[in-house]
Structure 1
Amino acid sequence: MHFAMPPRKTSRPPPYAVRNARSSFNPQYLIPRDRLRRVVLAILGFLAAVWTLRWMFGGGGEIGYESAVAGSGAPVVIVTVFDEKADKGWVGRVKRNREEYARRHGYATFFNTTSNYNIKTSPLSWSKVPALRHAMTLHPTSTWFWYLDSTALIANPSVPITSHILSPAKLEKHMIVNEPVVPPDSVIKTFANLKGERIDVVVTQDREGLSVESFAVRRGEWAKYFLDAWFDPIYRNYNFQKAEGHALEHIVQWHGTILAKLALVPQSLINSYAKGADPSQQGHYKSGDLVASFPGCDKGGKRSCDEEMKPYFEEIEKRKGAE
């Protein structure tokens, strides 16, 4: 079988091409060099003035604006989303738990309800992802955004999360390397040679997989990509058994650009389970841990977040009184 060969290109243009090019040239359309220079300079000056005004008044490109002020706000913003149907008294106590901690360490807080995010028929737990983007918009100069589920408490308010785990040195010290992303036998493992200053998302895992009750994301262009990828409608409509939790496991294992920015840290550092973990396991809450988490306490039935958290609230008050 023979295939038609494409015509060869030649470095010698046909005579008619040269004649047409010459015949179309008309000196009267040339712009004098001095005038052309003035026009170009005027255009550049106009564009520079527009860019400067947009940058000064916050209407310009987000990248330029962030590069000038990033890191000048609260170092950490604590983000929590509540079900609007939750008990108002309990919601108030959880908010105060975050607010008092934030005031103590110079952080900020961001609270919202699940109904304010358009997640359509997806589980309400998906609302944490747009809530983080929302918080980043309202706090454009902050660095870290710590999502802490409403089913978790800051149990040791004296511990600042910045020096506790978010500093590059602490991340390098504590990150779990060369371990399956999804235990016990995922073939995708955490990278072994990551530097702390390159980490943009900090998560924990329990014996079943990645946990999404308490995790931190560093603000930046990469964070927007990460959150947008996570919130993709394909994943929200896929009907994962654990909704956004399993979706996160999927993108971490299939997208090297995400795994390369992720630090997996021991659960006890930011997400100890007060309920739902074997006391012999490393992730079980011990007195002095930063966070006490009660996963599933908001699912109804015989469990109650307010009742399960009550002794921890009392312990926090005692600790404050002793300081």
Structure 2
Amino acid sequence: MHFAMPPRKTSRPPPYAARNQSSVRIPPALKNLLRRDKLRLVVVGALGFFTLLWLFGWIGGGSSSNSVLPGGVASTISLIGTGPAVVIVTVIDPQANPAWTERIKKNREEYAKKHGYLTFFANASDYPLRNSPPSWAKVPAVRHAMTRNPGSTFFWYLDSTALIMNPSIDIHAHVLAPSRLEKLMIINQPVVPPDSVIKTFSNLKPDRIDVIVTQDKDGLSQSSWIVRNGDWARYFLDAWFDPIYRSYNFQKAEQHALEHIVQWHGTILAKLAMVSQDTINGYHASDLANANHGTYKDGDLVANFYGCDREKRSCADEQQPFFAILEEAKNKD
């Protein structure tokens, strides 16, 4: 009688054969090493995650520590709309007549107080302009004002050459309310007159607008403009203030730099609205103003004595009759 023989074992187990891991003993030193590797992986992953947050502006991109998300993440976007709606920004020449400077500040402060707004004054020497003309200071000044006032929605830059002449006009109702801005927007208009091939878009909605400008007879004016607080505003101001543009020999410095980025960057033109010059930037001198709607007239919000701070002119002297008009109107009230 023959008995069946058991299958013969081989010294070569089949590939991919499962091994009994319970019989494998890992030395304690190796276990500690593996544990440390896992911990290191977790730490590195966490650091990488928070680094990505920082790069996207969720950490460190905020301009105020007053608003903090869980975990200490600063946020300014969440603050927008919690403060006064408008901040009026003006750059002052530190070499200017102090008495005149105080009158310019008072002009803005009285208007802001009347409508519940804020003011922000900066000196042209506050910012590292290097060899650039001091007129460039308006760009970092607005950026600075946004940092100091993260809860405000709009920042209205107004040159020291201009006076607010009709304090009863509320800039928000006058320009910024979407229903009003929709009526004011000048569409399909050459950015640089008279015949620039780049024109303002004709299909923009007012709630998508983040910067409002005017146009004088030569091009975009940087004397009076408004920007909406937010990430796009910071991008716009940083792009405008790029060292490449400041070092380039533009004939009109920041004005020509503004026209350049508006015409060559669709992301900026797509957020820009142009309004009639006399809406927020009427020129006292008609020969410098937009021929159709640029000269200041009684009742307008702003009278701008454009260029009075140079060309051997005196802003204090030219503005004096208008300061007198404002004082007389205030005494009647």
Q: 1:193 to 1:84 in 2, by over 3 A?
A: same
Q: 1:299 to 1:276 in 2, by over 3 A?
A: farther
* Corresponding residue of 1:179: 189
* Corresponding residue of 1:290: 301
Following the alignment from structure 1 to structure 2, what is the Cα–Cα distance between the partners of residues 282 and 243? 25
The aligned amino acid for 2:213 is V
Q: 1:246 to 1:118 in 2, by over 3 A?
A: same
* Corresponding residue of 1:313: 323
Give yes or no for contact 2:162–2:306 (8 Å, CA) kept in 1. Answer: yes
1:74 pairs, out of 66, 74, 84, with: 84
Following the alignment from structure 2 to structure 1, what is the Cα–Cα distance between the partners of residues 134 and 286? 21
Following the alignment from structure 2 to structure 1, what is the Cα–Cα distance between the partners of residues 267 and 277? 23
2:215 pairs, out of 205, 213, 235, with: 205
Aligned-partner SS, 1:248 = helix
Following the alignment from structure 1 to structure 2, what is the Cα–Cα distance between the partners of residues 67 and 137? 11
Following the alignment from structure 1 to structure 2, what is the Cα–Cα distance between the partners of residues 166 and 62? 34
Question: How do 1:8-27 and structure 2 match up within 5 A?
Answer: none
Give yes or no for contact 2:77–2:230 (8 Å, CA) kept in 1. Answer: no
* Corresponding residue of 1:102: 112
Q: Could you tell me how far 1:68 is from its partner in structure 2? A: 2.6
* Corresponding residue of 1:154: 164
- Any idea what the Cα deviations from partners look like across 1:158-195, whole Å, max 9, x if unmatched? 10100000111111111000110111000000000111
Q: Could you tell me how far 1:300 is from its partner in structure 2? A: 4.4
Give yes or no for contact 1:276–1:294 (8 Å, CA) kept in 2. Answer: no
Question: How do 1:184-263 and structure 2 match up within 5 A?
Answer: 184-263=194-273
* Corresponding residue of 2:8: none
Structure 1 residue runs of 5 or longer lacking an equivalent are 1-18, 31-35
* Alignment partner of 1:299 is 2:306: no
Give yes or no for contact 1:276–1:295 (8 Å, CA) kept in 2. Answer: no
More helix by share: 1
The aligned amino acid for 1:99 is E
Aligned-partner SS, 1:176 = coil
Aligned-partner SS, 1:222 = helix
Q: Could you tell me how far 1:294 is from its partner in structure 2? A: 0.7
* Corresponding residue of 2:146: 136
1:88 pairs, out of 98, 105, 108, with: 98
TM-score by length of 2: 0.79
* Corresponding residue of 1:277: 287
Larger Rg, first or second structure (1 or 2): 2
The aligned amino acid for 2:186 is I
Q: Could you tell me how far 1:127 is from its partner in structure 2? A: 0.3
- Any idea what the Cα deviations from partners look like across 1:80-123, whole Å, max 9, x if unmatched? 00111000010000000000000000000000111111000000
The aligned amino acid for 1:289 is D
- Any idea what the Cα deviations from partners look like across 1:18-37, whole Å, max 9, x if unmatched? x89x99x999699xxxxx9x
Aligned-partner SS, 2:197 = coil
Identity of aligned residues (%): 57
Give yes or no for contact 2:68–2:74 (8 Å, CA) kept in 1. Answer: no
Q: 1:63 to 1:166 in 2, by over 3 A?
A: farther
Q: 1:208 to 1:322 in 2, by over 3 A?
A: same
Following the alignment from structure 2 to structure 1, what is the Cα–Cα distance between the partners of residues 73 and 282? 36
Kindly report the root-mean-square deviation, in angstroms, between the aligned alpha carbons of the 2 structures.
3.2
Aligned-partner SS, 2:160 = coil
The aligned amino acid for 2:294 is G
Following the alignment from structure 2 to structure 1, what is the Cα–Cα distance between the partners of residues 184 and 114? 25
Following the alignment from structure 1 to structure 2, what is the Cα–Cα distance between the partners of residues 312 and 126? 27
Aligned-partner SS, 1:89 = helix
Q: Could you tell me how far 1:63 is from its partner in structure 2? A: 9.0
Q: 1:104 to 1:276 in 2, by over 3 A?
A: same
Aligned-partner SS, 2:325 = helix
Structure 2 residue runs of 5 or longer lacking an equivalent are 1-14, 32-37, 51-57
